[in-house]
Amino acid sequence: MSPVFVPAQLLERLCAEIGTSNVIADDQGLDLISRTCIPYRELPGVGVFPINVEQVQAVVRLAGEFDVPVWPVSTGKNWGYGEKSACYPGGITMVLERMTRIWHVDEELAYAVVEPGVTYKQLNDYLKENHPSLWADVAGTTQYASVIGNALDKGRGLTPYADHFNAMCGMDVVLADGSLLQTGGGPVDGNQCRHVYKWGLGPYLDGVFAQSNLGIVVKSGVWLMPAPESFDWAVFEYTGAVGQFPQLIDDLRRLVFAGAVRARPHIANDFAMMCIVSQYPYAALDGKRCLSDEAMASWRKKHGVARWTFGCGLYGTAAEVRFQRRYLRRVLGRYGRVQFLGVAAEDTLLGRLARKVAPFINRMMGKSDAFMEALVPGINLFKGIPTDHFARQVYFKSHQEKPRQNIDPARDQCGFLWIGPVVPFTSGHVMAALKLAKEIFDRHEFDMFVELIVEGPRSMIMLLGVFYERNDPDDAARARGWYEETRFSFIAKGYPPYRTTTMSMPGSSDINPVSRDFLAAIKRAVDTQNLIAPGRYGTPGRGGRAAE
Amino acid sequence: MSPVFVPAQLLERLCAEIGTSNVIADDQGLDLISRTCIPYRELPGVGVFPINVEQVQAVVRLAGEFDVPVWPVSTGKNWGYGEKSACYPGGITMVLERMTRIWHVDEELAYAVVEPGVTYKQLNDYLKENHPSLWADVAGTTQYASVIGNALDKGRGLTPYADHFNAMCGMDVVLADGSLLQTGGGPVDGNQCRHVYKWGLGPYLDGVFAQSNLGIVVKSGVWLMPAPESFDWAVFEYTGAVGQFPQLIDDLRRLVFAGAVRARPHIANDFAMMCIVSQYPYAALDGKRCLSDEAMASWRKKHGVARWTFGCGLYGTAAEVRFQRRYLRRVLGRYGRVQFLGVAAEDTLLGRLARKVAPFINRMMGKSDAFMEALVPGINLFKGIPTDHFARQVYFKSHQEKPRQNIDPARDQCGFLWIGPVVPFTSGHVMAALKLAKEIFDRHEFDMFVELIVEGPRSMIMLLGVFYERNDPDDAARARGWYEETRFSFIAKGYPPYRTTTMSMPGSSDINPVSRDFLAAIKRAVDTQNLIAPGRYGTPGRGGRAAE
């Protein structure tokens, strides 16, 4: 575990430039920062934790001088996608979690300017304290994830501002030669518009830094949502016949187009809900590696979980929210049960009362008590309030109990893996994709986890996942087999994933050779030594296992 | 006027490859395609009109073989910004107006896939005939402008889909080596998502082809708007005290944030409205070069024009439109007169009645009859129905009468020039920018034309323009002086323009040197001979007047 790819002299220079406390080179430290949930992992030669832009620039310049690659991550909480591991062994891993400045919040124009170490929790706390009229959309993952990191990976939240990359506007980017690029057009200093107008003057550049290795984003504008006058929250449980589900998909698309659904719900299947409200029922496996339909049905029944469930925030004036409520009740009511429970998260007398009464109703409805625990955090996600409640679910199979705090599934070696093919938002496409997914889950004997994420009115991201034994090589191989078959089969059907894991970087752009070559030419031009994250998203590597 | 920069052999080969009828090299033809409204113009060596992708590729390959640059335009109807003229003399001008295929319209997912020669009129006619439930946003310019061309220049419309570049999704782009890049991630063939999910897999590439010379966009997905259940149209006239105007700006921002204003109105000052409803009152000039405040006031009064006017579409269910109406009446009513006239464009008994009655009311309100003529086209713009009615305004000073049809101000040598600085959407910024604009108009003795374009809740584009004598060198110099001072003064205040004219390409990226150099490196990498539109948006030229 020695830092094989990092010369001793570079280590010294790094310590001199950014301070010994911001450099990690001991075995234990390197082990910790390279732990993953996915069945793939590489050890870096050294880990650096720069605290400001100048330090990022200093590291990049040193990397160039010693010709050693730099793998930047924000906080590396992209659990199930690759965490902090590079796609090659050795080199410098740069963790930006100590760059935690909130530079500016503009209340009138509703945006913040933040560094990559700013987490959902930090931003939310800051807003609640100083600008309570503004909400920041958050991902359903841990509250300690990076706002910028998630956005650059095209992560998603749940409010009308769910498209995190779309909410970025005006970035500061350290390039491979150490220079600082400020996007958003106009003069570098004094430009009043870089964080309020997206497209700038000339080509729009922010886009090329998403899922990219063309530079290191060290600061960005992030659009915030003015708190609506009124808010409510619906929970929908599907009780219709199986054959009705396609119709629900088409109706839901129309609701999104019409603006009756402004939130971006995740429609969870039964298994995805079970992860939240239960522990894995190993006893029901009956010698198999995944639950039979019967075992699944009885487990579902025990906890009162529907086949499909989703929550949905309602936003607007009181009149608009009333209208949305009516509209949702009318349309969704055809397919199942819709309840409006926004009040339960309110800090009012009515809210406290609702929280008192809810557990009894919940039990009467035959539901597991864990539903109640999820209620307030679930509602809050739609108000931009982050939580670790749902990140805990990933412990449900690998650990006997979900931890109450200090969640870190990479550290704790929970094995899981995500893939999210993009699927056009029509019943035809969604049903075809669900069928394909089910076949592949069955073939690899994994329980089917799926969330249909409403990306917008035109597409869904079909989030699929498996849980496996992180430290059992056979099970890891099985998970990888499932992943690769899912990936290639969905691509072959025309549904490429919205994101790729670190283990699948090599060749991930081969599905579009002209685009791959176009990007490779750009990379060579702006990073002549191929210093920053070589190989990321299928760009050329530098040698080593994952290269070329 | 001979094609100095194009060797005879290239001309022959072009004719052989794409057909003589698609090549123009005679003096008259070259003169016609290079006429401009801006005070700048270059003659190309040859004009080509490819009819399909293969022809575009053939021209680019020939250009490479002969090392001659290609200046691509869609239909070149970007009047007042540069039309079809290159920013250097000679070379090949490529006009894509004969690529007029509508490849596909998806009614469920609300998008079209079109070629650059498809005009607003063609797309709208096609939709009305085949998919009446879909609306395509249109620019206020001529109905014969290119949907793709306007979007690539970041042009604007008026409906909720006003951000034309934002509505592009998934492009086919011919690169400088003649290869065809298909953006939108995934496999080239069979990808079901390229036109429904914007960000693709890996870096987002569409953005680098906006206001760009990195490739020639030959096809693109364009998102369409499902026709709302209900529609209405408000016209607002400002009658408040001058000191109230800043408050209106802040209130308007709140209306846009709240979604009570979903359209993207253009708030026209008195002069901008006068262009529409009147001819220029030369008699009132009184020996000066622009109207005095008194002359302006009396002209305004004669036609019943307010200091500020805008139209605004209302969209949604009947209940939502009612709500928007109430909200607009309450807020805008503080500052002036709001009327809801959507019915006047309806093909119903009530609509016909309204159109019958309106002229009388109009006259009673002391308004010029020309208001009535503008009413229905004005409402229709907010329904995505294009018109030449407003493009006619640019004739109002250079010609005695506005033509009724066959509008082509470049051919007809109307002199005018636009610049649109981006300004944050707060009263502080907008008032500072208006003051600055007024000073510069006054200094150059031009009447102040301004439209405050609601770009979104966070920014406005302050469209400023002048009308001058196209063929009077002194007046052209005055227009250019006004333009350059406006441009530099606004940049210095932090309000860079959203778009630049062809005459101002050289140096237009110097306001951000790191970004300029980053783009120049990319350009060198993907267009090694600098073939496509050298010099566009401040990228390096190839020599000649506008180069370097």
Distance of CA B66 to the CA centre of its chain: 34
Looking at residue B365, its pLDDT comes to 87
The verdict on pTM exceeding 0.90 is yes
What is the pLDDT averaged over residues A203-217? 98
Distance of CA A500 to the CA centre of its chain: 12
Which residues, other chains included, contact B256 with Cβ-Cβ below 8 Å and sequence gap of 6+? B425, B454, B456, B457
Which of B175, B521, B537 is opposite residue A525, by nearest beta carbon?
Answer: B521
Q: Compute how many other C-beta atoms are within 10 angstroms of the C-beta atom of residue A469.
A: 17
Q: In this complex, is the C-beta atom of A75 within 8 Å of any C-beta atom belonging to chain B? A: no
For residue B315, the cross-strand partners are B231
Q: Which residues of A touch B253 (CB under 8 A)?
A: 108
Looking at residue A542, its pLDDT comes to 87
**DSSP per position, A200-243:** -SSS--GGGGTT--S-EEEEEEEE-EEPPSEEEEEEEEE-S-GG
| Interior/surface letters A487-501, b for 16+ CB within 10 angstroms, e for the rest | bebbbebbbbbbbbb
How far away is chain A from the Cα of B444, in angstroms, using its nearest Cα?
25
Distance CA(B89)–CA(B3), nearest Å, equals 10
Q: In this complex, is the C-beta atom of A205 within 8 Å of any C-beta atom belonging to chain B? A: yes
| pLDDT, tens digit, 9 for 90 and up, residues B91-117 | 999 999 999 999 999 999 999 999 999
With 90 as the cut, is the pLDDT of residue B180 above it? yes
Q: Which residues of B touch A223 (CB under 8 A)?
A: 458
Q: Which of residues 91-110 of B touch A (CB under 8 A)?
A: 108-110
Which residues, other chains included, contact A16 with Cβ-Cβ below 8 Å and sequence gap of 6+? none
Residue to substitute from B257, B431, B512, B523, interface A, most A β-carbons within 10 A: B512
Which of A109, A182, A497 is opposite residue B424, by nearest beta carbon?
Answer: A109
Secondary structure letter of residue A401 according to DSSP: S
Q: How many CB pairs under 8 A join A and B?
A: 281
Please, are residues A210 and A154 in contact by the beta-carbon 8 Å criterion? Answer: yes
With 60 as the cut, is the pLDDT of residue A544 above it? no
Q: Is A416 helix (H, G, I), strand (E, B) or coil?
A: strand
Q: Which residues of A touch B323 (CB under 8 A)?
A: 317, 319-320, 323
How far away is chain B from the Cα of A181, in angstroms, using its nearest Cα?
6
For residue B222, the cross-strand partners are B112, B168
| pLDDT, tens digit, 9 for 90 and up, residues A451-503 | 999 999 999 999 999 999 999 999 999 999 999 999 999 999 999 999 999 99
Q: In this complex, is the C-beta atom of A512 within 8 Å of any C-beta atom belonging to chain B? A: yes
With 50 as the cut, is the pLDDT of residue A546 above it? no
Q: In this complex, is the C-beta atom of B230 within 8 Å of any C-beta atom belonging to chain A? A: no
Positions of E strands within B360-409: none
Provide the pLDDT confidence category of residue B361 given band limits of 50, 70 and 90: confident
| pLDDT, tens digit, 9 for 90 and up, residues A79-128 | 999 999 999 999 999 999 999 999 999 999 999 999 999 999 999 999 99
Distance CA(A414)–CA(A37), nearest Å, equals 6
A92-95 and A70-73 beta bridge pairing: parallel
Provide the pLDDT confidence category of residue A4 given band limits of 50, 70 and 90: low
| B202/A211 CB distance under 8 A | yes
Angle at A218 between CA A215 and CA A221, to 5 degrees: 110
Q: Which residue has the tokens 């090392």?
A: B67
Distance CA(A50)–CA(A58), nearest Å, equals 9
| B108/A538 CB distance under 8 A | no
Distance CA(B469)–CA(B471), nearest Å, equals 6
The answer to whether the Cα torsion of A507, A513, A518, A521 is positive or negative is positive
Looking at residue A364, its pLDDT comes to 87
Q: Which residues of B touch A525 (CB under 8 A)?
A: 521-522, 524-525
**Sheet of A102-106: strands edge to edge?**
A102-106, A111-114, A216-223, A168-174, A180-182
Looking at residue B401, its pLDDT comes to 93
Q: In this complex, is the C-beta atom of B538 within 8 Å of any C-beta atom belonging to chain A? A: yes
Question: Nearest 10 degrees: CA dihedral of B517, B522, B523, B527?
Answer: 150
Longest dimension (CA), chain A: 69
The answer to whether the Cα torsion of B539, B164, B138, B175 is positive or negative is positive
Looking at residue A110, its pLDDT comes to 98
Which residues, other chains included, contact B547 with Cβ-Cβ below 8 Å and sequence gap of 6+? B88, B506, B534, B535, B540, B541
Q: Which residue of A has its CA nearest to B152?
A: A203
Which of A259, A429, A525 is opposite residue B525, by nearest beta carbon?
Answer: A525
ipTM computed for the complex? 0.96
With 90 as the cut, is the pLDDT of residue B186 above it? no
Question: Nearest 10 degrees: CA dihedral of B300, B284, B141, B135?
Answer: 20
Percentage with pLDDT > 70 across chain A: 97
Higher pLDDT, residue B542 or A15: A15
Q: At what angle do helices B293-303 and B270-277 cross, to 10 degrees?
A: 50
How far away is chain A from the Cα of B548, in angstroms, using its nearest Cα?
17
- Reference A323, options B251, B324, B252; nearest CA is B324
Q: Which residue of A has its CA nearest to B524?
A: A525
Q: In the Cβ-directed half-sphere of B10, how many Cα atoms lie within 13 Å?
A: 25
| A108/B250 CB distance under 8 A | yes
Q: Is B32 helix (H, G, I), strand (E, B) or coil?
A: helix
| Interior/surface letters A271-306, b for 16+ CB within 10 angstroms, e for the rest | bbbbbbbbebeeeeeeeeebbeeebbeebbeebbbb
Q: Which residues of A touch B540 (CB under 8 A)?
A: none
Q: Which residues of B touch A211 (CB under 8 A)?
A: 201-203
| A199/B165 CB distance under 8 A | yes
Distance of CA A113 to the CA centre of its chain: 20
| pLDDT, tens digit, 9 for 90 and up, residues A238-262 | 999 999 999 999 999 999 999 999 9
Q: In this complex, is the C-beta atom of B524 within 8 Å of any C-beta atom belonging to chain A? A: yes
Please, are residues B314 and B231 in contact by the beta-carbon 8 Å criterion? Answer: yes
Q: Which residues of B touch A180 (CB under 8 A)?
A: 514
Q: Which residue of A has its CA nearest to B262?
A: A259
| B203/A208 CB distance under 8 A | yes
Distance CA(B123)–CA(B105), nearest Å, equals 10
Q: Which residue of B has its CA nearest to A196?
A: B458
With 70 as the cut, is the pLDDT of residue A545 above it? no
Q: Which of residues 423-482 of B touch A (CB under 8 A)?
A: 423-426, 429, 455-459
Provide the pLDDT confidence category of residue A186 given band limits of 50, 70 and 90: low
Please, are residues A86 and A501 in contact by the beta-carbon 8 Å criterion? Answer: no
Distance CA(B459)–CA(B420), nearest Å, equals 12
Q: Which residue has the tokens 């149209």?
A: B233
Residue to substitute from A515, A519, A539, interface B, most B β-carbons within 10 A: A515
Q: In the predicted model, what is the mean pLDDT of chain B?
A: 95
Q: Which two tokens stand for residue B112?
A: 């079209």
Which of B179, B207, B537 is opposite residue A205, by nearest beta carbon?
Answer: B207
Q: Which residues of A touch B111 (CB under 8 A)?
A: 458
Q: Which residue of A has its CA nearest to B487?
A: A186
Q: Which residues of B touch A492 (CB under 8 A)?
A: 187, 190
With 90 as the cut, is the pLDDT of residue B2 above it? no
Q: Which of residues 110-139 of B touch A (CB under 8 A)?
A: 110-111
Count of residues in chain B: 548
Looking at residue A365, its pLDDT comes to 87
Looking at residue A543, its pLDDT comes to 63
How far away is chain B from the Cα of A445, in angstroms, using its nearest Cα?
27
With 80 as the cut, is the pLDDT of residue A413 above it? yes
Q: Which residue has the tokens 């005679």?
A: B26
| Kind and range of the H or E run holding B270 | helix B270-277
Q: Which residue of A has its CA nearest to B181?
A: A514
Distance CA(A541)–CA(B10), nearest Å, equals 41
Q: Which residue has the tokens 């529609």?
A: B231
Q: In this complex, is the C-beta atom of A207 within 8 Å of any C-beta atom belonging to chain B? A: yes
Which of B109, B214, B521 is opposite residue A526, by nearest beta carbon?
Answer: B521
Q: Which residues of A touch B183 (CB under 8 A)?
A: 515
Q: In this complex, is the C-beta atom of B53 within 8 Å of any C-beta atom belonging to chain A? A: no
Distance CA(B150)–CA(A197), nearest Å, equals 18
Which of B182, B323, B522 is opposite residue A319, by nearest beta carbon?
Answer: B323
A337, A382, B113, B502 from A157: Cα distances, Å: 24, 8, 29, 41
Please, are residues A236 and A325 in contact by the beta-carbon 8 Å criterion? Answer: no
Q: In the predicted model, what is the mean pLDDT of chain A?
A: 95
Please, are residues A494 and A421 in contact by the beta-carbon 8 Å criterion? Answer: no
Q: Which of residues 305-324 of B touch A (CB under 8 A)?
A: 316-317, 319-320, 323
**DSSP per position, A121-160:** HHHHHHHHHH-TTEE---BSS-TTSBHHHHHHTT-BBSST
Q: In this complex, is the C-beta atom of B181 within 8 Å of any C-beta atom belonging to chain A? A: yes
Q: Is B443 helix (H, G, I), strand (E, B) or coil?
A: helix
Q: Phi and psi for B206 in degrees, rounded to 5?
A: -50, -40
| B193/A109 CB distance under 8 A | no
How far away is chain B from the Cα of A90, in angstroms, using its nearest Cα?
23
3-state secondary structure B104-150: EEECCCCEEEECCCCEHHHHHHHHHHHCCCEECCCECCCCCCEHHHH
Q: In this complex, is the C-beta atom of B156 within 8 Å of any C-beta atom belonging to chain A? A: no
Please, are residues A185 and A191 in contact by the beta-carbon 8 Å criterion? Answer: yes
Distance CA(A71)–CA(A534), nearest Å, equals 8
Q: Is B230 helix (H, G, I), strand (E, B) or coil?
A: strand
Q: In this complex, is the C-beta atom of A167 within 8 Å of any C-beta atom belonging to chain B? A: no
Distance CA(B295)–CA(B304), nearest Å, equals 14
What is the pLDDT averaged over residues B493-515? 93
Distance CA(B43)–CA(B1), nearest Å, equals 7
Q: Which residues of B touch A182 (CB under 8 A)?
A: 512, 514-515
With 60 as the cut, is the pLDDT of residue B548 above it? no
With 60 as the cut, is the pLDDT of residue B3 above it? no
Which residues, other chains included, contact A213 with Cβ-Cβ below 8 Å and sequence gap of 6+? A523, A527, A532, A533, A534, A536, A537, A539
